[in-house]
Structure formats: structure tokens, C-alpha cells
Amino acid sequence: MARKIVVTSGKGGVGKTTLTANLGVQLAKRGYRVIVCDLDFGLNNIDVVLGVENLAVYDVVDAIEGRCRPRQALVRHPRYPTLCSLASRHLSDRYVSPQAIRLILDSLAPQFDFILIDSPAGIEEGFHRAVATAEEAIVVTTPHISAMRDADKVAGMLKNYKLSRVGLAVNMVRRDMVRRGEVLTPAEISAALRLPLIAVIPEEDGIFLQNLCERSRAFRLLAAFYAGGKVKLVDPVRGGGLFGAFRRG
């Protein structure tokens, strides 16, 4: 039965969608069966990041409204046969309930190991719809004060849900600024937000470019953690080494 993990953030533009896609790729490269589900009905671009935007015939709304079976709405990635995407569409006057989405994902869960859910940024209706379908969460932030403040609001909202694990991913970490003490370190951000740190992604890894970063060590380490290993982090100062190793909690 698939683990359902929502990836969320308080602020847009922090790399949430690209983290979702890259984690899916790295888990698929390990042989896991993965669905990357786009529940950001406003931007709905997870298929663009994965490079499969021209392959989708149906989307999650089609499955909900009975125009296709849930399995027909999946798009298998041409390079990673165990990775599928589930697209969404922009909603204008339609309402899609969390219960309807949960029924679709639950029907697919027995055939997969992970369902990664890309949530819209913020704490509006779309956020609650996405989180209500999940069992675990990843909160993505950058070292910028505004992003951290919004991430703190998201962390507070997540306490209202019965999630088995909530982890923090700090993205766009500039090593030069960390060295000079111009920004908080990922460990300091983790302490401030009271969330366990599970990923540090340096800015030069390219997540901010909205593409797949298949050589990124940070994403490989994050996938290894979700595959059952310990938390291992890229060192935010030295770069090549590891910044601590913590037991999975």
C-alpha cells in the first residue's frame, strides 16, 4: 500500500514542485512504484517539470467525474517505467472535495509504493484539500525570512491533521551566505520552525530552475531516507560532505 506524502510550502517559488518531481524520480530509480500527483489546481505544472506535459489524455478531475478509470489518468514516464504522473487542471467554478481525491488515490494505492502529492502554496482551500489526502508531509522553505515565516504558518496548520511524520526541506541554500553568517543555517531554521530537518538542497543543485536535477546528491539522500535509511544531509558549508546523520524518527 502506497505511502501518501504531501509536499507543501507557505510561500510560492521555493521549489516545492521541483522537489516533488525529483524525489519521485529518485525513488523510481531505486525501483519503487511512484505516482506524482498534481493537486495544485492553480498552476498544475508537475507534468511540465517531469517533461510529460504532452502525454496526458486524462487528469484527476476526469477520474473523479467518471470520464476515465483512475489508472487511465496516469501517465507513465518514458525514462522511468515505475514512475507515473497524475495531472490536474485549472478549476474555475468547480469544487473538488478532499474525499473525492482520496477515493481516487486510495484506489491506486495498492499498486504503488509512494504517492507524492504536490500541494499549492499557502494555507487556502487547495492546501487543505491536498493535506487531507496524505499521511505524511514535507514542508519546503528557503532561508529567506518571508519563506520561513510562511512555513511556520503551514507547520502550525499541519498540526490539525493526523500525519505520521512532518519533515523540513531547506532549499536554495547558498554556501557563501551560510559561511559569512548572512542567513540562518538549515539546523537553525529547523530549530526555529520546530520541524525535523530531512533535506538540505544547495542553490547550485539547480532546483530553482524548475527542472529535473538527476545528479543532485540532496535528492538521492532524501530518497534514501524515505526508502528506510537514516537522515543524511548535504553539508551547507563544505558541500561535498554530509552535515550530520540522524536516525529515522
Asked whether the beta carbons of 118 and 85 are under 8 A apart, the reply is no
What is the structure's pLDDT at 237? 72
User: What confidence tens digit (pLDDT) does each residue in 203-246 have?
Assistant: 865 454 456 776 788 999 999 999 999 999 988 776 545 554 44
The whole-chain average pLDDT of the chain stands at 89
Asked whether the beta carbons of 148 and 189 are under 8 A apart, the reply is yes
- Which of 58-62, 239-243, 245-249 is predicted least confidently? 245-249
Say what the pTM is. 0.91
Query: CATH no. for residue 138?
Result: 3.40.50.300
What is the structure's pLDDT at 102? 95
Q: Is the pLDDT of residue 161 over 80?
A: yes
Residue ranges making up the domain that contains 72:
3-246
Neighbours of 240 (CB within 10 A): 7
Reported as a pLDDT band with limits 50, 70 and 90, residue 66 is: very high
What is the structure's pLDDT at 196? 97
Backbone angles phi, psi at 215, to 5 degrees: -95, 5
Q: Number of structural domains, the chain?
A: 1
CA gap 37, 15 in Å, rounded: 16
Reported as a pLDDT band with limits 50, 70 and 90, residue 181 is: confident
